[in-house]
Chains A and B, each alone.
Chain A
Amino acid sequence: MCLAIPGRIVALDSDARNQAVVEVVGVRRKVDLGLLQEESIRPGDWVLIHVGFAMSKISEADAADQIRTLALLGESEAAIEEVRGYGLEDEKHSNNERGAGP
């Protein structure tokens, strides 16, 4: 919950309001851009994500730093698991409707 996860904007979703597809270390997920209304966000930009919402726009170098920090803190796997969990409807088979298992 308290992880700040860097992701690169891959595409802005034209259907859903304020949604974007981001890529985080190879995982693609939808995140919400509703808290970045005052920034102009374009594909290729890097953002820091908290609980599925992009919270700030950051530089690519800072994103790399943050990825390294997560690794050093031993939280990379937790971050990937969290990102995989974003966007329930996007995954029709495996992670969907998963229960409360750890």
Chain B
Amino acid sequence: MRYVDEFRQPELIAKAGEEIRRLADPLRHYRIMEVCGGHTHAIYRFGLKDLLPSNVELIHGPGCPVCVLPMGRIDDGLSVTANPDFIFAAFGDMMRVPGTHGSPLEYKARGMDVRIVYSPSDALKLARRNPEKHVMFFAIGFETTAPSTALTILRAELEGVRNFSVFCNHVTIIPAIRAILDSPDMRLDGFVGPGHVSTVIGCRPYEWIAKREHKPVVVSGFEPLDILQSIVMLLRQLRNGEAKVENQYKRVVPWDGNRAALRAMAEVFELRPYFEWRGLGFISQSALKIRPAYAQWDAEQRFTVPGVRVTDPKAAQCGEVLKGVLKPSQCKLFGRECTPETPIGALMVSSEGSCAAHYNYQHHKPVTIANAVAL
């Protein structure tokens, strides 16, 4: 609550809170999933849960690209650049994410040429500047970042930059939502749709959720008021027995998305038949790979990749937390073996993962050696 007090429109926020309590049927329990990690972060940061009645529960979804990336992919990427003629370039978010033998940062300490870039186009610049080296950009992200990677590959082709490639881990949000809805232990009432992904894909791709699954979707902005208004819109639909896609974030998200971005993605990428997601397992057609026409810039087509598979420790209950069957704190490892400093499960890896957000914002009681040993 203390975060909310700092916000500009406290009276509107209070009104939205009242409206939520008015719309929520006290005899019913609502389970609403916010798909995007940015929303998860905002919900914890602003203490929005405290504004909701106890029968309106927010389930934190799979929309943190760092969290859902299997450890084996990190191992694979780092194995390509093990050669001293290579540079491993990635966003800062990736640098502390552990692979089996350490994070990219730890590989750097052991002598690998590892660079943080803030844009895929900067990885391409690194390649231009270091013609004697090969720069591999380790690409992650949903549809928010995939178009930029696509455009960078198109630039590399245009400029004939040969010492550059992309190790592509881009994933798409819709199949993950489908996998969660298909899960037998799942029961959700509606979705707060991702804001920035929708800037690219628009709102149409969610229509099947409304039409076939009869669950409302409201694409939402990131301010406290945005998220609460989206919950109001969802509850209103549920009260009226409706299921449709609504756009709360109209000021940024066009209904049809960004066509130039979608074109760039379609030109460069095709769907992988399946891809593994940490916590969710293999999901068909849920990730992007580089088309054969651009094989020259695809690290996986150009170099030998071992195809490492690392299964998450059985004790980590990431899948159950992702699907909302368990709350983060109900996982056996939460806050004990698994912390943001020593993440074991996917959702503790990035600050936008639901477990890390939960850990960082729920006045965490320090764990004594005694109860850690008791496990």
Contacts and interface: CB of A to CB of B under 8 A. Distances in A.
A90 B199 CA distance: 29
A8 to B, nearest CB: 16
A50 B260 contact: no
A100 B196 contact: no
B245 interface: no
A87 to B, nearest CB: 7
A102 B95 contact: yes
A35 B260 contact: yes
A4 B105 CA distance: 25
A88 B126 contact: yes
Interface of A: 1-2, 4, 32, 34-38, 48, 50-53, 55-56, 58-59, 62, 65, 68-69, 72-74, 82-83, 85-89, 97-102
A50 B148 contact: yes
Interface in B99-127: 104-105, 108, 114-122, 125-126
A35 to B, nearest CB: 5
Q: Could you say which interface size class chain B belongs to?
A: 35 or more
Contacts of B147: 35, 53, 55
Interface of B: 3, 6-8, 37-38, 41-42, 45-46, 65-66, 91-93, 95-96, 104-105, 108, 114-122, 125-126, 129, 140-141, 144-145, 147-148, 151, 195-196, 199-200, 222-224, 251-252, 254, 258-261, 264, 352
Given A50-B196, A69-B222, A72-B3, A32 B148 contact: yes
B264 A62 contact: no
Contacts of B105: 100, 102
Contacts of B352: 2
B118 A82 contact: yes
A55 B258 contact: yes
Given A1-B141, A4-B195, 13 more contacts: A1-B65, A1-B145, A4-B199, A35-B148, A35-B258, A35-B264, A38-B260, A50-B145, A51-B119, A55-B199, A97-B115, A99-B108, A102-B105
A61 B6 CA distance: 19
A101 B259 CA distance: 36
Contacts of A53: 119, 121, 147-148, 151
Given A51-B91, A73-B222, A88 B122 contact: yes
Contacts of B260: 34-38
Given A4-B196, A69-B223, A48 B252 contact: yes
A37 B261 CA distance: 9
A69 B117 CA distance: 24
